[in-house]
Structure 1
Amino acid sequence: MPADLDQQVFHRHRSLLFSVAYRFLGTAADAEDAVQDAWIKWSAADRSQVADPKAYLTRIVSNLALERLRSSRHKRETYVGPWLPEPILTSRDTAEVVVDAESVSMAMLVVLETLSPLERAVFVLKEVFDFSHADIAEALERSETAVRQAAHRARGHVRARRPRFTADRSRQREVTERFFAAATGGDVNALMELLSPDVTLWTDGGGKVRQALKPVVGAWTVASWFAAMGTVSYQGIDPADMRAELAEINGGPGMLFSGPDRVIATVTFDFDTEGRVTAIHNVANPDKLRAVAGGTAHGIGTR
């Protein structure tokens, strides 16, 4: 196969490969590295023996991502404060056509962090990308019985930790817009109306910037935290120099905070069936904001 045709085939499936790797790893940087490593393996392979390039490439990137996930476990266990996934921008059009945008939401990725590497890989390939147990077994070089057992454990674990139903996307967007207006206006009462009484705020500074090292719980405490953002300096940036905007983040509506020369935080929400905010994920670790700062909206589809 000519080199330029090799590149065309790989490029055709690149978005899918990133989608697989990102759900495995929860970081855009590691996902991009896995995709790049997949390209190297693809370039060196005997493509004349490859009957299905899409399946072949997915198998390669799955194993590369699984290997990276295993090697990163200790680093995440010793992380300073809560470890949150690295956010990515997703265009509104992309988010609307995604088969299951929930699978790339910050809340779901946090749940996936609690699975074993094998359980996570099997769950992603089966539940998100609709691989058969047999195909997963071949891709991950496991027995089909082991894959079925891992799938059963993972599915039960995820269902126990994620609500089955949540507010529809239009309601989520409406609440996010109201939250944005209330937070930037410092209106504690308006924020309180949008929050579940036991709402939890998770903040990830990674020891690089000052953030809460434990979850912040309760509507009043969380509302006060956000209302103060327009009145006090944040990461050395005065309120007058801070810009806040709505953005599509990880398949749903979110907020993006920037200073004069850098992105300083992303905020995403989890909702109940009535549209109240039940959890907030605030990523401020600068190492995790590079994908967002780059401004490129990623495809997160499953095809």
Structure 2
Amino acid sequence: MVEIGSPGLGEFLAVRDRLLAIARHVAGGLADPDDIVQDAWMCWQRADRAVVVDPSAFLCRTTARLSVSAVRSRLRRPVVPAGPWLERLAGPEVDPARLAEQSDAVRAVIRLLTDVLAPRDQVIYLLREAFGWPYHQIASAVGLSETNTRQHARRARLRLAATPGTNRPPTAAATHRELLSAFLDASRTGDHAALVGLASTA
């Protein structure tokens, strides 16, 4: 429960609406957004705020991670379907306020991937969980065996499900923008070339 006078309350309240929007769009109807944001608050209470450079970014990444974990816990197969936020990418008829919420949700998930996973694992994760590619097709695209591709996907899911850390160096903004752009292009046009190309990024 959020209590008046709690440490870090101001920073949390400043982005609470954004956190709720992220939880709604990532988890969809599979988990309660309020519960997810409450869990994010608890993580924020346990965090060493002295080493958190950007409270807003920390809270958004934490909420995205918790939302992904909540979806996983509701499904029988141990994967994280990105469908809830992929399928609701805004069309031209969506009003600006809703478009802003959707953009925040997608950016938070992509930011989480760039902060936690290596480039190849980012690509494998998105091709599998967001676009539903079979492992043999992913393996051919990224130049790995199917067995290794499965291992990379499993490692990505485990890392995404891990407890958020506070001492991870922030990802370069350009790296985040590159993956976000490639993902959005693939989701809107069906052309995955740019996204697959990022698998070879050093």
TM-score (norm 2): 0.45
TM-score (norm 1): 0.32
**Which of the pair has more CA radius of gyration?**
1
> Which of the two has greater strand per residue?
1
